[in-house]
Amino acid sequence: MSTRGGVEDGIVAVAEPLPPRRGGRPSREQAALLGDRILDAATDLFLAEGYGATSIEAVAQRARISKRTFYHRFSDKAALFGAVVQRIIQGVRPPPEVPLFEGSGLREVLHRLARLGVHASVAPMTLALTRLMLVEAQRFPELAAIVAREGSRAEAIKQIATMLERESRAGRVTIDRPEFAAEQFLSLLLTVPQRRALGLGVPMTGAELDCWADDCVNLFLNGCTHWKAGHQPS
């Protein structure tokens, strides 16, 4: 699997990174290219071979660098995996200029978030990362912590919960546990489309994903208007 061109399989020789500028230190552009090369190699190996089967030696060989160069950038394999996860997530998120949590009201914001989120959840790289987690997370519990730290789900829950709390204070919804409600909204929105995209059913088309997102928002908001406080966890 390749992300940004990658490196041809079968390369054995170790070559140091792009030659530095005169004066010894690489330029920012050269450093960025080297970083991309390492992450390309690591992404290919993690997603194709798994976390456990991918060694630092294999990443260095595929990226055509020495282990010393690798350790100048990453402290260990877990740190490398965190960088890979971060880049995958950044790659499926909308560009910074897209206003995710702005709009005339809660319904408008949730509709936009839902459509963006449901499409991102079935993007090829998202699905590849999800497959990796399903296979490896039990053997390597630290992977779940890395994905939670680098991912955007916690951020989305926090932002949605803040909006729900604001709407509740204004009397437009009756939510007493906004973070719980926000997490349930994301589960309602993402679980079925992603399961189907992973092969547990027929994948949804783009139009079906949009309809699914809109229906989930409508169902969620209808539930919010009739929310009844339940048992509070101790």
Domain boundaries, given as residue ranges, for the chain: 1-74, 97-225
Flag whether pLDDT at 118 surpasses 90: yes
Q: Do 53 and 16 meet the contact criterion of CB atoms below 8 Å apart?
A: no
CA torsion angle for 181, 186, 189, 191 (degrees, to 10)?
-120
Mean pLDDT on 165-177: 87
1-74 with 97-225: one CATH topology? no
Q: Which residue has the higher pLDDT, 117 or 151?
A: 117
Query: Given this model, what pLDDT does residue 170 score?
Result: 87
Taking the model in full, what pTM does it have? 0.76
Query: Given this model, what pLDDT does residue 192 score?
Result: 97
Express each pLDDT in 137-168 by its tens digit: 888 888 888 887 777 788 889 989 999 999 88
Mapped to the 3 state alphabet, what secondary structure does 186-234 carry? HHHHHHHHHHHHCCCCCCCCHHHHHHHHHHHHHHHHHHHHCCCCCCCCC
Flag whether pLDDT at 8 surpasses 50: no
Distances (CA, A) of 80 to 2, 17, 113, 230: 17, 18, 29, 43
Report the Cα 225 to chain-centroid distance in Å. Answer: 31
Which CATH code is given to the segment(s) 97-225? 1.10.357.10
Topology of domain 1-74 in CATH is Arc Repressor Mutant, subunit A (1.10.10)
Q: Rounded distance, CA 111 to CA 164, Å?
A: 14
Flag whether pLDDT at 84 surpasses 70: yes
